[in-house]
Amino acid sequence: MYDYLIVGAGLYGAVFAHEAKKRGKRCLVLEKRSHIAGNIYCENVEGIQVHRYGAHIFHTSNKRIWDYVNKFAEFNNYINSPVAVYKDELYNLPFNMNTFSRMWGVRTPAEAKEKIAAQIASLNITEPRNLEEQALSLVGRDVYEKLIKGYTEKQWGRPCTELPAFIIRRLPLRFVYDNNYFNDRYQGIPIGGYTRIVENMLEGIEVRLDTDYFAHREEWNAQAEKIVFTGMVDEYFDFCYGSLQYRTVRFEEEVLDCENYQGNAVVNYTEREVPYTRIIEHKHFEFGKQPKTVISREYSTEWQLGMEPYYPVNDAKNTELFSKYKKLAEQEKKVVFGGRLGDYKYYDMDKVIEAALNTAEAEL
């Protein structure tokens, strides 16, 4: 008998398992993939840490979480500063004075604000009701049309008018010349990759890989007092109310015989006609000097059964459907649901760690 059966060896499951073991609990972790670490899994290719399920930059303003994660890895001083390519134009992200200066030839914050105000004056947006209105009211029509509309519609497969405003508020908007993609106090990439963090968290804990909980759920349930479930909440309930929607990403990876392909870790392609959303050049996350390079093009599509569910689509329809599953989840007294899929939330890593620590404290 185990105290906790933990379904999923991603960040949430690993933090919970670590905390439970520390408090003397017996844990068993099940993972259906053939490796631990969930979506933060990294693989060494040509001496370069490749983020197998998409680029991950750790950032947080929560000192407690920063100190916690630093117990499991040392972080470098990488600062994310993506660039956006629109046709033959190149812009700095996030939206800041470098972007506005390149877009309009303006030099001062007052000039940039004036431009934006003039572009949205006729729209009268008081309370943005969707991503389009939110973006227009923040950065004006030119930036919206060139840097947001095409990218967002490729990424989410839905018109910007049908997406929630909060998605675009993830990005900083500032009227200073500062290309740091995040506003957070702490930022970096773990030296040696993310997998090691999860490896260290799971040290001394029994993990079974290639094991899908649903293949023998009754048998697993019988072996533990409680379950921590970090898979898809709708799958847990056999999709009884229908399927929640997710976006998945196909990564087209190439090893190139050149030292430096694009000069930056992240280059976004914001026009609709380029089929991928961004190209990641992994070595730049670690200031790599290897003779070769590895790049990944990201193609975003709608999730279907059998694919990896990466992004919950937190629009009105899915939020309502999730609230029904949440009610069911609250009735499962033996099960705690957590993580990006269990909570159906667009969580960053720091928020996942925080949620897992809070659950562990409440539970244990």
Q: Which residues bind ligand FAD (CB under 6 A)?
A: 7-13, 30-33, 38-40, 53-58, 212-214, 230-231, 249, 310-311, 339-341, 347-350, 352
Name the helix (H) or strand (E) containing 219: helix 217-221
Q: Which of 33, 52, 278, 340 is catalytic?
A: 278
> In the bound complex, what is the minimum distance in angstroms from residue 247's beta carbon to ligand FAD?
9
Residue 148 interacts with ligand UDP (CB under 6 A): yes or no: yes
Q: In this chain, which stretch among 150-158, 194-202, 221-229, 333-341 interacts with ligand UDP, using CB under 6 A?
A: 150-158
Give the residue with the Cβ less far from ligand UDP, 60 or 155. Answer: 155
Q: Check if 174 is active-site.
A: yes
Smallest CA-to-CA distance from 272 within 149, 181, 187 is with 149
C-alpha dist (Å) from residue 221 to 7, 30, 305: 11, 12, 24
Tell me the C-alpha distance between 7 and 30, whole Å. 5
Do the bridges between strand 2-7 and strand 27-30 make them parallel or antiparallel, or are there none, so unpaired?
A: parallel
Give the residue with the Cβ less far from ligand FAD, 150 or 339. Answer: 339
Q: Check if 298 is active-site.
A: yes
Q: Which of 343, 348, 350, 354 is catalytic?
A: 348
Q: Check if 340 is active-site.
A: no
**Strands of 266-269's sheet in order across:** 89-92, 83-86, 266-269, 278-281, 293-302, 246-256, 311-312
Residue 168 interacts with ligand UDP (CB under 6 A): yes or no: yes
**280 contacts 56 by C-beta, under 8 angstroms:** no
CB-side neighbour CA atoms (13 Å) of 116: 25
- Residues between 250 and 279 with contacts to ligand UDP, criterion CB under 6 A: 268, 270
> In the bound complex, what is the minimum distance in angstroms from residue 348's beta carbon to ligand FAD?
3
> In the bound complex, what is the minimum distance in angstroms from residue 269's beta carbon to ligand FAD?
15
Tell me the C-alpha distance between 51 and 286, whole Å. 12
DSSP string, 116-160: HHHHHGGG--SS--SHHHHHHHHHHHHHIIIIIHHHHHHHHSS-G
Tell me the C-alpha distance between 244 and 343, whole Å. 12
> In the bound complex, what is the minimum distance in angstroms from residue 222's beta carbon to ligand FAD?
16
11 touches, from ligand UDP, ligand FAD, none (C-beta below 5 to 8 Å by class): ligand FAD
Give the residue with the Cβ less far from ligand UDP, 171 or 307. Answer: 171
270 touches, from ligand UDP, ligand FAD, none (C-beta below 5 to 8 Å by class): ligand UDP
> In the bound complex, what is the minimum distance in angstroms from residue 248's beta carbon to ligand UDP?
12
349 touches, from ligand FAD, ligand UDP, none (C-beta below 5 to 8 Å by class): ligand FAD
Q: Both tokens of residue 160?
A: 């910007």
- Residues between 57 and 86 with contacts to ligand UDP, criterion CB under 6 A: 84
Lay out the site mask for ligand UDP across 104-133 (x = CB under 6 A, - = otherwise). ------------------------------
Q: Check if 278 is active-site.
A: yes
Smallest CA-to-CA distance from 4 within 21, 203, 12 is with 21
Residue carrying the six token digits 């026009």: 271
> In the bound complex, what is the minimum distance in angstroms from residue 137's beta carbon to ligand UDP?
15
Specify whether the backbone of 140 is left (phi greater than 0), alpha (psi in -120 to 50) or beta: left
Where along the sequence are the contacts to ligand UDP (CB under 6 A)?
Answer: 84, 93, 147-148, 151-152, 155, 167-168, 170-171, 268, 270
Catalytic residues: 170, 174, 247, 278, 298, 346, 348
